[in-house]
Amino acid sequence: MPMDRYEYVSDVWRDGIFDNKVVFCTGGAGSICSAQVRAMVALGANACIIGRNVEKTETMAKDIATARSGAKVIGIGAVDVRRPELLQAAADRCAKELGSIDFVIAGAAGNFLATMDQISPNALKSVIDIDVLGSYNTVKATLPYLVESAAKHRTDGKTRPANGTGGRIIFVSATLHYSGTALQSHVSVAKAGVDAMSVSVAIEQGPKGITSNVIAPGPIADTEGVARLSKKETRVKAYKAVPTGRYGSVKEIADATIYLFSDSGNYVNGETLVVDGGHWHTAGTSSHGFEYPDFLLSGETVTGVAGGKKAKL
């Protein structure tokens, strides 16, 4: 049964603004990225979502397709974004079966909670490889298609574009590295790299008509991130650290995506759109429900969350 539309996209957007367009998304079976893609599909796009788990990715693709009658959504599993040849094959299949790649969401990521002295070199490398190298591989695989799309959808900002928009990429990042976040040194390094990459893409590919921007979500309710990286019993207390007094919703990330990919975002390039209710201004050492500095000085390993330190990393 289709989700209620307001769960993943606001009523302000006009139907059909992404008709005959295609969005390619890594990490597309995740709670945030699937909402981003679902909103695009509801507004006319077809889509290709990429993930590691075959069943989860294919099931999510079928579910997203219920957002609009006649929508085409391909789910390609068994794709590790660290392997460029797999991403290239996925991008080529997407373009062949759906006709183009007009929008890209680089959303694959890895995370867990641990202090720097508990993180092995291999664990750090794994997170950087998934986030940074994975984003790089996503850009490399889709860039020729984005250049082609951008050339078809140039706009001067004055004339209504006849063919809509295209040639745009969004990197899904975070706010962890803005003020520093305990237990997240590995991800902070990775997300800072993703942010820098987006700016480089904007500068280098902007003359070809491509725009590259970052969306940095804050704490979003009912997502893997909140479940993995915070204790359930401390989440009500954590609300107080958000100036708006609540966690965000996936719809609010999806709305930011529509803004950047639509005609309203034509002149936004090389920027980071933070969607966190103002949380990062009050965040830092007291996040995740672990008291600062007592927990760090104790030397304990994080427990009580799904995203604790993985011994094999």
**Model confidence pLDDT, tens digit, residues 156-198:** 999 888 889 999 999 999 999 998 888 889 999 999 999 999 9
- What integer pLDDT is reported at residue 307 of this predicted model? 61
pTM of the entire structure? Answer: 0.90
- What integer pLDDT is reported at residue 312 of this predicted model? 45
**Model confidence pLDDT, tens digit, residues 90-103:** 999 999 999 999 99
**What is d(CA 148, CA 199) in angstroms, rounded to the nearest whole number?**
20
Beta-sheet pairing, 46-50 with 22-26: parallel
Supply the mean pLDDT for the chain: 90
Q: Is 308 exposed, middle or buried (0-12, 13-18, 19+ CB in 10 A)?
A: middle
Alpha helices (runs of H) in 174-223, residue ranges in sequence order: 176-179, 185-205
pLDDT at 108 over 60: yes
Sorted by where each starts, the structural domains of the chain and their CATH numbers stand as 14-298 (3.40.50.720)
How many residues are listed for the chain in this entry? 313
**Model confidence pLDDT, tens digit, residues 204-252:** 999 999 999 999 999 888 776 555 555 555 555 556 778 898 889 999 9
191 part of the active site: yes
**What is d(CA 125, CA 109) in angstroms, rounded to the nearest whole number?**
13
DSSP string, 36-74: HHHHHHHTT-EEEEE-S-HHHHHHHHHHHGGGSTT--EE
Strand-pairing partners, residue 106, are: 26, 171
Q: What are the helix and strand counts (H, E) for the chain?
A: 11, 7
Q: Is 118 exposed, middle or buried (0-12, 13-18, 19+ CB in 10 A)?
A: middle
Q: 97, 185, 174: which is closest to 135 by C-alpha?
A: 174
Q: What is the dihedral of CA 136, 50, 247, 67, to 10 degrees?
A: 140
Q: Which helix (H) or strand (E) holds 157?
A: none
Distances in Å between the alpha carbon of 239 and those of 55, 80, 254, 273?
34, 34, 21, 21
125 part of the active site: no
- What integer pLDDT is reported at residue 311 of this predicted model? 42
pLDDT tier for residue 313 given thresholds of 50, 70 and 90: very low
**Phi, psi for 206 (deg, rounded to 5):** -55, -40
Question: One of 34, 100, 149, 173 is an active-site residue; which one?
Answer: 173
Distances in Å between the alpha carbon of 74 and those of 15, 88, 94?
21, 15, 8
Own/partner contacts of 58-64, CB < 8 Å, gap of 24 or more, are 59/29, 60/28, 60/29, 60/34, 61/28, 63/34, 64/34, 64/37, 64/38
Question: One of 191, 230, 249, 251 is an active-site residue; which one?
Answer: 191
Record the tokens describing residue 197, joined without a space: 């990459």
- What integer pLDDT is reported at residue 294 of this predicted model? 73
Q: 35, 172, 51: which is closest to 107 by C-alpha?
A: 172
**What is d(CA 290, CA 180) in angstroms, rounded to the nearest whole number?**
15
Instruction: For the beta carbon of residue 12, count every other beta carbon within 10 angstroms.
Output: 8
